[in-house]
Structure 1
Amino acid sequence: MMKPVIAIVGCGRMGLVRAQALKCVSHRVRYVFDVDSSRASQVADVHNSRAVASLAEMNWSELDAVFVCTPPSDRAAMEIATRLDKHVFVEKPIHLSARHSLSLLGMTLPRDRIFAVGYMNRYRSPIEEVRKRIEDIPILGFQAHWICKPYMVPWWADPAQSGGPLNEQATHIVDLIRYLLGEVDQVTAIQGVSDSSTVSVMLRMQSGCIGTFVYSCSATEKDIGLRLFTQDTPIVLSGWDFYLSDAPWQTSTIQRQSSEDAFLSETKSFLDAVESGDAQAVRSPFTDAFKTQVVVDCIRNSLRLGTRVTVEAYREELDAL
């Protein structure tokens, strides 16, 4: 098929990242929209695209696919595109909660359109290597952490717009745990006594594997990592790019991998899937990202209720809605 006709909705940092990735693969954007016209113009300039003042100004019949890079509370473009049977790429998380996205789940299930969600860590080569290797390695448990400073954009700290830091940012580590270790059975979360933005979560996986992760946005520096315990050497993934610094299959010291652009790989995979019609290129489809959203919701429920929450019980509540 001809190259799909693309629009970008939302021109903050991630809108610019997607525009630059599309430029790298020589893919032009037809329309750009943001509530801030100056930001829309900045992204439009990358592609010599048309910056529009509203979603209604876009000729939707021309479009094949839409990149939705808006805050979690603003998913209007995602809903319009899905209703009009367009291919969709939406930045994580899918919404403020699983309840907010139930109608979208119902619309995506019966369709053959590509619907990808931006969990870029699934496209990192160390993550893929570990995922393949641990198929034959018993995992005894895991420890993860995502420590950082606040994301300095106005909507991020407002739960009504972002769903809160756990929803908007800690979702990365929840998704990565699911991607590597399978589905979560139960969660128990506690907050720091003097710092409510620091949270510790214990998870029991359906496989029986157990582990913890600590999230905080109260730091001044970034510290991210995931350690999987085995009967031998642990598997250690470190830093923003999750480079593989230790593993039982290594016979010598692991050299740090060269940097890679996970956002570029993710964007290209979405375009490849749209052009070929083969959804296998997408590692985080909407239906799978919905499961990550459910776990994040359960963590927030555990904090609110002060008790352990079973994921299946919460999912049954959603199915009853």
Structure 2
Amino acid sequence: MSVQQPRIGVVGTGSIGRAHLNAYRRAGVDPVAVADVDAAAIEAVAAEFGATAYTDIAAMLADADLDAISVCTPPSTHQVLAVQALEAKVAVLCEKPMARTVDECALMVEAAHVNRTLLTVGFCHRFQPEIEAMKAAIADGRIGTALTFRNRFSGPLDGVESSWFSRPAISGGGVLMDTCVHSIDLIRYLFGEIDQVRALTATTATSRGPALEVEDSAVLSLQSTDGVLGVIEASWRTAPGEAVVTVSGTHGRLHLDYATMRLTEVDVDGNESVVEVTGEDRFTRQARHFLSCVAGTAQPRVTPTDGARAIAVLAEATASAGPHG
């Protein structure tokens, strides 16, 4: 393998697949292979990126001499595709959610272990520069003892009733799997392991769309093993959208608004200041980190255990909620 130019493939060329393709390109590596079940779509993407097109991952793994792949397909395929690659000794960056179930995650973890091959999960918010700055400020005691965490990722996903996102056999769940899996990882990244979780979920027929087979809105309450209390809110049906992370402590508060990418700190007297943060976008930074891991010059920031643990926490949350609350 050439450390300077590893051979990368991307499986799945929808919106998230294109995000990975563009991120690799920005990181200085042009993927050499792309795969998708849509033959017409894959030819166009392959031409755009100068890659070889495949409609079958087995053929891609056999022919393309790959060092690593991104798996950017719907969740129902993650376990099978990732295990195929790992058994071929090809490193895997699997998009979130890692898989639909705890058992599927376990099969992926086992394949990575048995084949001694890199497996990581696309928790891209760990690579958001403002989130890294927030974590550093917490560790430095800038807000005193952290006590509460609030995260809301919401916004209208119009037409979701017609997409695979709302089909539980493919998605594994609704907004919990789509956005709350990121939120679970965020609180674990900032504060460590989750000790307790409870959820309320709902799906409601409104002017924005019909009720779904999966939850379109959810609220979770959590507690870390260190005692930090968390609230996570998510919805596909509320407008306008909101994407915020707030951490409050005994001597201050940190707040990130993704709409403006503005991280602010409020001190114990209520004085607000902007925390200056610079850095590339999270997908590019995630791609650079993955490439470094493939080259053996870095250890993965997100382990298979992190991916599996997020699904385990969501399974517990889903069980506590019952059928849509």
TM-score > 0.5 by shorter chain: yes
Report the secondary structure of 2:273's partner residue: coil
Structure 1: distance between partners of 2:114 and 2:56: 29
Following superposition, the deviation at residue 256 of structure 1 comes to 7.0
Structure 2: distance between partners of 1:118 and 1:152: 25
8 Å CA contact 1:227, 1:234 repeated in 2: yes
Q: Equivalent residue for 1:36?
A: 38
Structure 1: distance between partners of 2:280 and 2:12: 24
Structure 2: distance between partners of 1:145 and 1:132: 21
8 Å CA contact 1:127, 1:242 repeated in 2: no
Tell me which stretches of 4 or more aligned residues in structure 1 moved more than 3 Å: 109-112, 192-196, 240-243, 247-252, 255-260
TM-score for the superposition, normalised by structure 1: 0.86
Q: Equivalent residue for 1:103?
A: 107
Question: What 5-or-longer segments of structure 2 have no aligned partner?
Answer: 206-214
Structure 1: distance between partners of 2:82 and 2:279: 31
Structure 2: distance between partners of 1:241 and 1:52: 39
Match of 1:84 among 83, 88, 98: 88
Q: Equivalent residue for 1:72?
A: 75
Structure 2: distance between partners of 1:253 and 1:73: 44
Structure 2: distance between partners of 1:227 and 1:53: 43
Match of 1:219 among 227, 232, 238: 238
Q: Equivalent residue for 2:321?
A: 303
Q: Deviations over 1:99-126 (max 9, x none)?
A: 2221111222355432221111100111
8 Å CA contact 2:266, 2:273 repeated in 1: no
| Number of residue equivalences | 305
8 Å CA contact 2:147, 2:248 repeated in 1: yes
Structure 2: distance between partners of 1:255 and 1:107: 42
8 Å CA contact 1:189, 1:201 repeated in 2: yes
The alpha-carbon distance between structure 1 residues 149 and 48, as it changes in their structure 2 partners (threshold 3 A), is same
Equivalent positions of 1:1-321 (< 5 A) are 1-2=1-2, 3-60=5-62, 62-75=65-78, 76-109=80-113, 112-135=116-139, 136=141, 137-150=144-157, 152=159, 154-164=163-173, 165-192=175-202, 196-239=215-258, 243-248=262-267, 253-254=273-274, 260-275=280-295, 277-280=296-299, 282-304=300-322
Following superposition, the deviation at residue 151 of structure 1 comes to 6.7
The alpha-carbon distance between structure 1 residues 34 and 151, as it changes in their structure 2 partners (threshold 3 A), is farther
Q: Deviations over 1:61-93 (max 9, x none)?
A: 611111111010012321101112211111111
8 Å CA contact 2:179, 2:234 repeated in 1: no
Q: Deviations over 1:28-86 (max 9, x none)?
A: 32221101112212321232111112223225361111111101001232110111221
Structure 1: distance between partners of 2:260 and 2:297: 27
Structure 2: distance between partners of 1:304 and 1:114: 36
Q: Deviations over 1:148-199 (max 9, x none)?
A: 1227562111111111221122211111111101111111112358575222
Structure 2: distance between partners of 1:261 and 1:35: 29
Following superposition, the deviation at residue 258 of structure 1 comes to 6.1
Structure 2: distance between partners of 1:247 and 1:108: 43
8 Å CA contact 1:184, 1:205 repeated in 2: yes
TM-score for the superposition, normalised by structure 2: 0.85
8 Å CA contact 1:124, 1:241 repeated in 2: no
Following superposition, the deviation at residue 239 of structure 1 comes to 2.0
Structure 2: distance between partners of 1:50 and 1:233: 52
